[in-house]
Amino acid sequence: MTVSVAVVDAQTPGNVGTIARAMKNFGLTDLKLVDPPELDPDGEAYGFAGQAREDVLPEADVVTFEELAENYHTVATTAITNEDATKHVRYPFVTPQELADELQGVDSDVCLVFGREDVGLTNEELAEVDQICSIPASSDYPVLNLGQAATIVLYELRELTVEETQLPEITDRADQPAIEGLHDQFGSFLTAIDHPEEKRSKAGRLFRRVIGRAHPTGREVRTLRGLFRRVEQKLED
């Protein structure tokens, strides 16, 4: 199974570039454009595309909506699902997270279809697709920017599209008893240097906040405790 992305009748070149960039982030390269705006290599589409300006965007294919429906398992993304008993046509939908699980069992190639910035996809177009995906958002304002919506959906599908992800380095954070021992050692250090007693509580809180943000490793905690201890010993000599 391969996953492609289609943008239908985008009115803002920058959104096409943003979607191309999100595709690059999450391992996708096949971009389809239905009735696209002019994508000037010196314009905002390429400016917003980041490294996707080198391959994803210039290699995009211009196609018709009918070609998408005929050749792919199509998934339309929309904030308006018509999941309402009062509607003449009802469209069951899945969230991006649920979509990732469901696509595991699809044998044919998949195309994620994103619609216009203002009205999305028409009811006629929605009737032609195989699945509807909707991003849960506040009922007060459920409509997402086109580029945001694409990024969220592609992120949720990353296990299908990215072979190797890059994560921030995960440190071996010291366990909590060791952290508390460091705070005790700091308190002892304040006493040893004769820090004003009325200021020790505030200094301890500041030190605790710093250590909380730092997420020190076990080795770092042992080193700091050793330094404080040596200062205390020097002062006792």
Q: How far apart are CA 151 and CA 148, in angstroms?
A: 5
* Angle of the 197-214 helix axis to the 176-192 helix axis, nearest 10: 150
The arithmetic mean of pLDDT across residues 146-156, rounded, is 94
Question: pLDDT band at residue 59, thresholds of 50, 70 and 90?
Answer: very high
What pLDDT sits at residue 80?
Answer: 58
Between the ranges 32-46, 87-101, 125-139, where is the mean pLDDT highest? 32-46
What pLDDT sits at residue 151?
Answer: 95
Question: pLDDT band at residue 136, thresholds of 50, 70 and 90?
Answer: confident
Residue of 37, 24, 28, 39 whose CA lies nearest to 5? 28
| Residues 79 and 137 placed together within one structural domain of the fold | yes
The answer to the question of residue 169 being in a domain is no
| Residues 62 and 147 placed together within one structural domain of the fold | yes
Which of 129, 161, 193 is where one domain is finished? 161
Q: What is the pTM of this model?
A: 0.68
pLDDT of 125 higher than 70: yes
The answer to the question of residue 166 being in a domain is no
* Angle of the 13-25 helix axis to the 146-156 helix axis, nearest 10: 10
Domain that holds residue 93: 3-161
Q: Is-contact 60 35, C-beta < 8 A?
A: no
The answer to the question of residue 167 being in a domain is no
| Residues 143 and 208 placed together within one structural domain of the fold | no
pLDDT of 92 higher than 80: no
The answer to the question of residue 118 being in a domain is yes
What pLDDT sits at residue 167?
Answer: 55
| Residues 109 and 18 placed together within one structural domain of the fold | yes
What pLDDT sits at residue 200?
Answer: 94
pLDDT of 13 higher than 90: yes
The answer to the question of residue 95 being in a domain is yes
Q: What percent of the chain has pLDDT over 70?
A: 91
Question: pLDDT band at residue 28, thresholds of 50, 70 and 90?
Answer: very high
The answer to the question of residue 207 being in a domain is yes
Residue 98: CATH number of its domain: 3.40.1280.10
The arithmetic mean of pLDDT across residues 37-41, rounded, is 95
The predicted-structure confidence for 152-209, as pLDDT tens digits, reads as follows: 999 999 989 987 665 555 557 888 999 999 999 999 999 999 999 999 999 999 999 9
pLDDT of 105 higher than 70: yes
What pLDDT sits at residue 107?
Answer: 86
Residue 121 token pair: 């996809």
| Residues 157 and 184 placed together within one structural domain of the fold | no
The answer to the question of residue 231 being in a domain is yes
| Residues 41 and 147 placed together within one structural domain of the fold | yes
| Residues 98 and 215 placed together within one structural domain of the fold | no
| Residues 121 and 187 placed together within one structural domain of the fold | no
| Residues 155 and 211 placed together within one structural domain of the fold | no
Exposed e or buried b per residue across 170-199, where buried means at least 16 C-beta atoms within 10 angstroms of its C-beta: eeeebeeebbeebeebbbebbebeeeeeee
Residue 192 token pair: 């040893």
Q: Degrees (nearest 5) of the Cα angle 148, 152, 156?
A: 170
Which of 116, 138, 161 is where one domain is finished? 161
Q: How far apart are CA 125 and CA 160, in angstroms?
A: 26
| Residues 144 and 196 placed together within one structural domain of the fold | no
3-state secondary structure the chain: CCEEEEEECCCCHHHHHHHHHHHHHCCCCCEEEECCCCCCCCCHHHHHCHHHHHCCCCCCEECCHHHHHHHCEEEEECCCCCCCCCCCCCCCCECHHHHHHHHHHCCCCEEEEECECCCECCHHHHCCCCEEECCCCCCCCCCCCHHHHHHHHHHHCHHHHCCCCCCCCCCCECCHHHHHHHHHHHHHHHHHCCCCHHHHHHHHHHHHHHHHHHCCEHHHHHHHHHHHHHHHHHHHC
